[in-house]
Chain A
Amino acid sequence: MKKLFTIIALFGALSLAGLTAHAQDKPTEKPVATAPAASAAAAPAAAPATQTAAPAPTPNKGDVSWMLTSTALVLMMSVPALALFYGGMVRSKNMLSMLMQVFVVFSLVSVLWCVYGYSLAFTEGNAFIGGFDRLFLNGTFDAMKGEFAMAATFSKATPIPELVFVAFQATFAAITCCLILGAFAERAKFSAVLIFMVLWFTFAYAPIAHMVWFWPGPDAYTAANVVDATNAKAGLLWQWGALDFAGGTVVHINAGIAGIVGAYLIGKRVGYGKEAMSPHNLTMTMIGAALLWTGWFGFNAGSALEAGNSAALAFMNTYLATACAVLSWMFGEWLFKGKPSMLGAASGAVAGLVAITPAAGNVGIPGAFVIGIAAGLVCLWGVNGLKKMLGADDSLDVFGVHAVGGVLGALLTGVFNAQSLGGPGLVTDWVTGKVASNPIIDQVWIQAQAVGVTIIWSGIVAFIAYKIADLLVGLRVSEEEEREGLDVSSHGETAYHL
């Protein structure tokens, strides 16, 4: 434990040092004259509206309301939804440890996000990682002038307060880390989990989010002659043209890979394959799945960053694909396994939600049907045939549902984005806002490359992060503690006194 506290103290000290250094840098921040109302992160606050010729557009209250609502919805997806979904699937002796890990990891990552995560992910740096302009959210709110920095959306001159964007993205970072927890449930040491999360969040989540989502915003594209220079400021995968509406790569593949690496390195649960490890309360799992579905409207439709057409499309697709996946998983299970199960229906819902995530605002209704139906069947295979082939004890199927569903969704996004298949196409010219479709083969190839980069990056970072946590405190609890249950042995509490 001492080691853990030393590490935490070290991180704190580094962060503070960073803040001090940054405070001195601030006056040298260059204003981005071409983007008066700012952009996702290209030094938004550095260009006070008064210094530019055109008055800065004020945020639309509808957009802001929707984004605040979406942010709260995504928080609901983790605490309580994911915690209950996972908690119901573990044995009763590990219920509190599951709830506790989700609750604490969510909080931990949210804090790190505000300290340095947001800055690394969403400020201008290189193609792989951002800079330190926004340490401790510095510059998002000027208390003396009472001015709020603005962040870009996907429409020109349509900003939202940057703090809303920070909070919205914070919930994404936090839930992504929480997703991983299911892979090594019921045996991981709590301190090791925290160390791993700090490392993985810093070196995998932040860079991947930067690579996929960081771009200077539509207002930066003022004329044809700045397009190349502006593109060059964006993240690597954005530059490649990868489509990821709400986090197929950043959230689900990223977490799923970290999960399976963890399941291998931490090892199987004591008695795995010999003793029954039935879920202790599928009622809670169903409540969790239902809340996930509800919260996911914030996750997907909120990723439009505006309360408009794109949000409407993402909302409907999220609704429809999920229902399709519930049915396809259930019928698949009924056909191949004999009975349609509640856990199957709930798992199908999550599989559908995962797969539609990268596609949400990037495909049309035909895409939602196909992606939803495919997700239910492919993820059913992911937790059966594929799981047996992999041979790891991925306790709650983080890989089988999130990585498999994420890859499926990412690839099919490349197919169904095409206008010929009912998709909205993509903006090919941000100066004029011209929309067109890429040839399907080309777009799928781009999507596959983005998937590949995420798998390799997340896998390597996760491997190293687990090894470091193992060296510092050891990855798993003793066999005796595991048999007793983590609730009592790690947290000194019992979930149920019946």
Chain B
Amino acid sequence: MKLVTAIIKPFKLDEVREALSAIGVTGITVTEVKGFGRQKGHTELYRGAEYVVDFLPKVKIEAAIKSEMLDQVIEAIEKSANTGKIGDGKIFVFELEQVIRIRTGETGAEAL
């Protein structure tokens, strides 16, 4: 099993969710986050005071999937989150040791 974490532009969230549902991903977790990368921040000017805003708002999604779905999932996220402009985000893939469904106690791929 794999855990896929992707940082995307906030307004792309719905498209990514739809793309993942379409290929059979049954659930994702979404977090609003801030960060910086190559996109850099912007400046804000309040009367005479100028502030550099380094951290930009992004959305982090996490999906636990079966290993054989990995390529499909990566492709789905890549396509749906892509705008072609700097700041589209990144996808991180982790090995996932164990999954347990709390309600039933099922484990492994059954629990996904």
Contacts and interface: CB of A to CB of B under 8 A. Distances in A.
Contacts of A388: 48
Interface in B32-76: 44-49, 51, 53
A337 B46 CA distance: 10
A271 to B, nearest CB: 12
Nearest to A344: B47
Contact of B46 (A338, A343, A387): A343
Contact of A339 (B45, B47, B51, B53): B45
A339 B50 CA distance: 12
Interface in A310-343: 337-339, 341, 343
Most chain B beta-carbon contacts within 10 A, residue among A276, A277, A388: A276
Contacts of A278: 44, 46, 49, 51
B49 A277 contact: yes
Interface in A248-288: 276-279
Contacts of A400: 47-48
Contacts of B47: 343-344, 347, 383-384, 397, 400
Contacts of A341: 45-46
Contacts, number: 29
Contacts of A277: 49, 51
Contact of A337 (B45, B51, B53): B45
A89 B46 CA distance: 9
A383 B45 CA distance: 12
A180 B46 CA distance: 20
B44 to A, nearest CB: 6
Interface in A76-133: 89
B79 to A, nearest CB: 34
A337 B43 CA distance: 11
B26 to A, nearest CB: 32
Interface string A373-414: 000000000011001100000000100100000000000000
Contacts of A279: 46
A254 B46 CA distance: 25
A337 B51 CA distance: 13
Interface in B9-44: 44
Most chain A beta-carbon contacts within 10 A, residue among B44, B47, B51: B47
Contacts of B49: 277-278
Contacts of B46: 89, 278-279, 341, 343
Contacts of A276: 51, 53
B59 to A, nearest CB: 19
Interface in A335-380: 337-339, 341, 343-344, 347
B51 A383 contact: no
A384 B48 CA distance: 4
B13 to A, nearest CB: 21
Contacts of A347: 47
A204 to B, nearest CB: 26
Contacts of A384: 47-48
B51 to A, nearest CB: 4
Interface string A403-436: 0000000000000000000000000000000000
Contacts of B48: 383-384, 387-388, 397, 400
A89 B48 CA distance: 13
A185 to B, nearest CB: 14
Contacts of A338: 45
B46 to A, nearest CB: 6
Contacts of B44: 278
B99 to A, nearest CB: 33
Most chain A beta-carbon contacts within 10 A, residue among B44, B45, B48, B53: B48
Nearest to A338: B45
A344 B53 CA distance: 19
Contacts of B51: 276-278
A269 B48 CA distance: 16
Contacts of A89: 46
Contacts of B45: 337-339, 341
Nearest to A383: B47
A400 B47 CA distance: 10
A397 B49 CA distance: 11
A408 to B, nearest CB: 17
Nearest to B49: A277
Nearest to A282: B46
A384 B46 CA distance: 10
A275 B45 CA distance: 14
A344 B49 CA distance: 12
A338 B42 CA distance: 13
A491 B45 CA distance: 30
B45 to A, nearest CB: 6
A334 to B, nearest CB: 11
A277 B49 CA distance: 9
11 contacts: A277-B49, A278-B49, A279-B46, A338-B45, A343-B47, A347-B47, A383-B48, A397-B47, A397-B48, A400-B47, A400-B48
Q: Which 7 A-B pairs have the closest CB atoms?
A: A276-B51, A384-B48, A383-B47, A383-B48, A387-B48, A343-B46, A337-B45
Given A89-B46, A278-B49, A337-B45, 20 more contacts: A276-B51, A276-B53, A277-B51, A278-B44, A278-B46, A278-B51, A338-B45, A339-B45, A341-B45, A341-B46, A343-B46, A343-B47, A344-B47, A347-B47, A383-B48, A384-B47, A387-B48, A388-B48, A397-B48, A400-B48
Interface of B: 44-49, 51, 53
Interface of A: 89, 276-279, 337-339, 341, 343-344, 347, 383-384, 387-388, 397, 400
